[in-house]
Structure 1
């Protein structure tokens, strides 16, 4: 029997507590992603229908902005809790565990999420312009593909030249970051 697998050991209790904390964190993250997507859907209705963008976006392009807003709300709602959990999870030293995310690194990651949100909205706005020549259903399908694959050009940018390479876009525990050590 493995060490710590018995109910009387403190390691087993920490494991159960860790599992409960992980489950609560996962539920919170999924809830914020879902609520963020629903909340962001209100943005195109507020800015397009009677708002300042009503003359710029055709009627058949409104769904493209909704697709972009869902992506922005879902991404932001997913990433902000993950970044905040990274600030409190881990330990101070780079020793055996995962390092805690510092405030400057967290701010840079939040800024990267916001820049990507602006990118997604710009892509959705450009696809919405197809509503001048295509019906609403085709514009919506084009928006799903355009917004869904809009991260690909950003993946080709050499982020290391801007000082945003190693450690900025890498995930914890990824095999690439382990090989670099």
Structure 2
């Protein structure tokens, strides 16, 4: 069994003249990111490895989520995650070392949402419907994959354990 955690970056801003890759978080996103990090600790969802898109908003999301929480590992940036479709995200995951039991990926939509939909075959129906309607910024899906190694990752191998958005924790955060 392997555990995959998919975190979409928190709410970003889009200042005039700024390219997508350099977009920072909005005030709401800066409030939400620490909530998601605290959620990981509170629920015992501490990843062995964190892989982050190098875009400013994902790097900032993980920096704020993990700030002051020594249990959370630093994020490793991987350029393939930025604007990646689900199949590319799956390829990144399949390269994960066998000793990593829990992997957290910090990325973007639509790739994160599509990957979640591709992997999840079971789990709470209400939460699966919620994800299919919208995978909001800051959304965090916990998926248990019935695989022995990350190389074995295939569509439908996962069970959704939980899905949480910042607004579930604080109405002003999302």
Q: TM-score range by the shorter chain?
A: under 0.3
TM-score, normalised to structure 2, is: 0.25
Structure 1 or 2, whichever has the larger Rg, is 1
TM-score, normalised to structure 1, is: 0.24
More strand by share: 2
